[in-house]
Structures are given as structure tokens and as C-alpha cells.
Amino acid sequence: MERNNKARLLILLSTVGLAVSVLMGLCLGTSNIRPTVLVATLFAGEPDDFLYRILLTVRLPRVTAALLSGSALAVSGAIIQSVLNNPLASPNIIGVNAGAGLFVLLASAFLPTDPLLLPLSAFSGALLACMLVLAITMTGRLSRVLLVLTGFAVNSIFSAGMNTIMILYPDAYVGAGNFLVGGLSSVTSNVLVYPSVFIAAGFILALLCSKGLNILNLGADSAKTLGMNVNACRCAYLAIAAILAGAAVSFAGMIGFVGLLVPHGVKLMIGQDNRYVIPASALTGGIFVILCDLLARTLFLPYELPVGILMSLMGGPFFLYLILKNRRKE
């Protein structure tokens, strides 16, 4: 009961923190805006006003993109960790982001006119990566480190495909350099319409499946004794993770380590119950990416650092720590 109260408190504090983070993201930048001016501009500003245009066309889409991508990748990471029963797993580690990125570039190269194709293609690539890793894990019991190495192999294959497309079709994706490292500087409100629908649907499905994920956390044998069709449920849950990760990659690019860092932090505070881990991960993931993006665009003014680089600088050392920690346990 005490752990449930801690979880509810974390969700409440994260909700407040998310509101503060959004306000900071809208107010701070190359030119700072007071909160009172922000509210007045958003609700009473003229379309021709310079500040109004900056807020509506630059900062609001960027903060929204950071919120959506952070929430989606964090929840996707929480699902993947539960399905594979591996704390080292996350969308970028097992190749999900790379699979989504490859299919986005393929769609951009051959069918560049339909905006709905990007999230659909990203979902297809993410799902393919998930199913490849799941199929390999089902061939025999893999240690946590070996599973990560399997993910790296899948990641390398898809990354090679992306590099090939970039060479053969250099105009396949405008701003591909920013896409490959993960960045939000070129996001517009039109780009977010379809991915936001995918992310909302994925989040609802993840909440509905949270009890099943808890059963999977007990292990495959225990889940079978409780009447669960383990393989079918794993495929269904990984499809949800693919929806979330693929939609995020379609507009944010190859942002990494959100799905690793955020679920770990949440579980450290409130435990393994996915009924609370999923909403808490969504909220804290949004906070995390909003604040990281804010740092990335203000830390080195007048220059801007893609947020994916900042994520890698933080996530890489943490990932190495987890590998060493889990290696000692095996």
C-alpha cells in the first residue's frame, strides 16, 4: 500500500513538473519571454505579431514534439523491458529506433508526398526490429548481455541500410544529419498530427495491457501457469512498443536512451508495477526530453546542439554502468 501511495505521489508531482517544464520550454530560448507575456501573446496576440509567430510556429511545436517523443520512447522502453524481462533493453539498444529510421528513409525516398506514410513506415520498421529480436530470444535462453549484443547486431543491419539509402538517395530526407542523431529543431505542427494519434493510441493500449505486463514480469513459466498465451502476448505488447517508438522516430529522429534512462528511474522510485510505471514513465519522459532539448538549444548559444547528442552523452555512461552491474549478477 505504501508503494502505491508513492507511485500516486510521483504521478502527481510529475504532472506538476510537466506543466512547469512546458512553461520553461515556451519561455526560455534565444530570447526569453515572461510567463504573463506568453499567456497574453498566445490568447490575444495578432497573427502578424513577431512574438506570436515565434511561439506558434517554433516553440510550441518543438515543446509538443519533445513531450510526445519523450513520453512515447519512455513507455516503449518500459514495455520492452517487461516483455524481454531485461533491464538493459530499450528501443535504441535492440534496434527498434534504427528499424523505424530505415523505413522512414525508405518512405521518404520512394513515396515522399504522403505525410501519413512516415508514422506508418516507422511503425513497420520498429515492429520488424522487435519481432526479429523476439524470434532470436525464443530460439534459446539468452543472457542479458547476449540479448543486448543481439540488439546491437540488428541495429547495425538497419543502420547499414540507412547509410545505403543516404548514399543512393541523398535527398531522401531533408535534414537527414539532424534526423540520424535525433533533433527537434525542424519539427512543425503539421508533422505532428498523425504521430500524435499513433502515440495516443499506443499509450491507451499500454495502459490497458499493464496487468498483462505485470504477469510477464513474473517470468514465462509463471505466466503460463496463470493461463497466459506468452508468445501471443509478447508479440502484441511489442507491437504497442513499436507503435510508440516508431511514431516518435518519424518526427524526432534517432533519439536514444530515453527508453532506458526514464523507466529505470521510475522503477527505482516506485517498483515494477506497470499500472503505475507506464503513466509515470510517460510524464517523466516528457519532462526529461523537454528539459534536455531546452539545454541543447540554450547551453551553447548562439549555437544549437541536437538533443540526441546530449542524450547519448548522458545515456552512454549509464548504459555501461548497467552492463557492468548485470554482468556481475550472471
When mean pLDDT is compared over 122-131, 149-158, 305-314, the highest value belongs to 122-131
Q: What is the pTM of this model?
A: 0.91
Q: What is the mean pLDDT of residues 61-84?
A: 94
SS3 55: helix
- Which pLDDT score, from 0 to 100, does residue 328 have? 56
Q: What is the mean pLDDT of residues 2-14?
A: 87
3-state secondary structure 154-198: HHHHHHHHHHHHHHHCCCCCCCHHHHHHCCCCCCCCHHHHHHHHH
SS3 92: coil
In 3D space, the residue among 252, 261, 314 whose CA is nearest the CA of residue 284 turns out to be 261
**Predicted confidence (pLDDT) per residue in 113-133, tens digit:** 677 787 888 899 999 998 888
Q: What is the mean pLDDT of residues 85-106?
A: 86
199/242 Cα distance (integer angstroms): 10
- Which pLDDT score, from 0 to 100, does residue 38 have? 83
- Which pLDDT score, from 0 to 100, does residue 112 have? 66
Q: Which domain holds residue 101?
A: 2-329
252/100 Cα distance (integer angstroms): 11
- Which pLDDT score, from 0 to 100, does residue 64 have? 96
**CA 41 to centroid of chain Cα atoms:** 31
67/22 Cα distance (integer angstroms): 8
Q: What nine digits make up the cell of 111?
A: 513515396
**CA 94 to centroid of chain Cα atoms:** 13
102/221 Cα distance (integer angstroms): 35
Amino acid at 247: A
Burial of 317 by CB count in 10 Å (0-12 exposed, 13-18 middle, 19+ buried)?
Answer: exposed
158/175 Cα distance (integer angstroms): 19
Q: Which CATH number fits the domain that encloses residue 102?
A: 1.10.3470.10
**Predicted confidence (pLDDT) per residue in 258-285, tens digit:** 999 999 999 989 988 999 999 999 999 9
Average pLDDT of the chain to the nearest whole number: 85
Count of domains observed in the chain: 1
When mean pLDDT is compared over 157-161, 178-182, 227-231, 287-291, the highest value belongs to 287-291
**Predicted confidence (pLDDT) per residue in 175-224, tens digit:** 566 777 788 888 888 889 999 999 999 999 999 999 999 998 887 788 88
90/214 Cα distance (integer angstroms): 17
In 3D space, the residue among 232, 223, 226, 285 whose CA is nearest the CA of residue 68 turns out to be 285
